[in-house]
Amino acid sequence: MEPILRIRNLHAEVEGKEILKGVDLIVNPGEVHAIMGPNGSGKSTLAQVLAGHPAFTVTEGSIIYKGQDIQETAPEDRARDGIFLAFQYPIEIPGVSNSTFLRTGLNEVRKRRGLPELDAFDFVELVKQKAAMVQMDQSLIDRPVNEGFSGGEKKRNEIFQMAMLEPSLGILDETDSGLDIDALRIVSDGVNQLRSPDRAFVLVTHYQRLLTYIVPDFVHVLFDGRIVKSGGKDLALHLEEYGYDAIKQEADAANGVSN
C-alpha cells in the first residue's frame, strides 16, 4: 500500500534558524498519528512545512505525498491535492464572508478532482449538512471569515472547513488549545466522523487531553526538531504521567550511547 505521506530526514529553517533537524514519518491511509512534544520542539513548524508556508525553507530531506515530492509544490496546489491544515490561530479576513471564501476554495479543489463547480443551491445544502457535524451556528457562515468569532467558534470553523473540503490528509495544529470541554468534544466528534479508510490525520498537540476523544493509532514525540520516540496510544498516557523530561533524558541517553 502506498503511504499518503512519507517524510524523510526533513530539515527546515525559518529566518536562518533550523527548527526541524531530520524528521522521519510514514502515514498510511486510514491512520491517525499524533505528534506530541514540548513547546518549541517544532510541532507547529512541521504542520506549516507540510502545508507549504512560504516563511519556512526546507534545507534537506523530502516530503512525499501520494508518491509525489511536493517540496516545490505551491500551498494552493497542495490544498487542491487534498492536504488540509487546521490552523492553530485561524486568520481573520474582514469583509469577506465565510461562504464566499469557502466556496471559492471548494470549487478550486473540485476543479482539481475533475468535479463540476457547485452552484449556490448545492453549496448551501452541503454547508447545512457539514455545519451540523460540528454543531456550527448557520449565522457564522455569512459572517466575515473568523472576524469576531470566539476562540471556540474559530476552531469549529476550521473543522467545518475541513469537512467541506474533504481532504486526504488532515493536519490539525493544536486544535484543542483554547477549547472548553464541551467544544473539545464537539470538535473531536466532527473529526471522528471524518475518519475513513482512505483518509489520514496528523494531530499536533501539546496535551494528551485531545487524544482521549480522538484516539490515535500512533503517537510520536517530537523533541528539538526530531522524532525521538514513537509508540501506540499508550505513549500519550505515559507522557501525561511522566512529562516530557523523562523522554528528553531518554533521548539524551540514547544519543550518548550511539555517539
Partner 1 sequence: MSSPLDEIANGEYKWGFVTDIEAKTIPKGLSEDVIRQISALKHEPEFMLEWRLKAYRQWLKMTEPDWPNVTYPPIDYQDISYYSAPVQKKPKEGLEEVDPELLSTFEKLGIPLSEQKRLAGVAVDAVFDSVSVATTFQDQLAEQGVIFCSFSEALRNHPELVRKYLGTVVPSSDNYFAALNSAVFSDGSFCFIPKGVRCPMELSTYFRINSASTGQFERTLIVAEEGAYVSYLEGCTAPMRDENQLHAAVVELVALDGAEIKYSTVQNWYPGDEEGRGGIYNFVTKRAKAGANAKVSWTQVETGSSITWKYPSVILQGDNSIGEFYSVALTNKYQQADTGTKMIHIGKNTRSTIISKGISAGRGQNTYRGLVRVLPKAENARNYTQCDSMLMGDRCGAHTFPYISVGNNSSRVEHEASTSKISEDQLFYCRQRGLSTEDAISMVINGFCKEVFRELPMEFAVEATKLLSVSLEGSVG
Site for partner 1 in 38-67 (CB under 8 A): 51-58
Verify binding: residue 15, partner 1, rule CB under 8 A. Answer: no
Verify binding: residue 168, partner 1, rule CB under 8 A. Answer: no
Verify binding: residue 101, partner 1, rule CB under 8 A. Answer: yes
Shortest Cβ distance from residue 57 to partner 1 (Å)? 6
Verify binding: residue 170, partner 1, rule CB under 8 A. Answer: no
CA 188, distance to chain mean position in Å, is 13
Shortest Cβ distance from residue 105 to partner 1 (Å)? 4
d(CA 126, CA 216): 28
Binding mask 196-235 for partner 1 (x = CB under 8 A): ----------------------------------------
Verify binding: residue 14, partner 1, rule CB under 8 A. Answer: no
Which residues have CB under 8 Å from 166's CB, separation 6+? 194
Verify binding: residue 114, partner 1, rule CB under 8 A. Answer: no
What DSSP string runs through 27-77?
A: E-TT-EEEEE--TTSSHHHHHHHHHT-TTEEEEEEEEEETTEE-TT--HHH
**231 DSSP assignment:** E
With beta carbons less than 8 A apart as the criterion, state whether 154 and 186 touch: no
Verify binding: residue 109, partner 1, rule CB under 8 A. Answer: yes
> Within 10 Å of residue 82's Cβ, how many Cβ atoms?
19
With beta carbons less than 8 A apart as the criterion, state whether 58 and 48 touch: no
Verify binding: residue 190, partner 1, rule CB under 8 A. Answer: no
d(CA 226, CA 252): 12
Binding mask 136-155 for partner 1 (x = CB under 8 A): --------x-----------
Shortest Cβ distance from residue 53 to partner 1 (Å)? 5
Verify binding: residue 160, partner 1, rule CB under 8 A. Answer: no
Verify binding: residue 18, partner 1, rule CB under 8 A. Answer: no
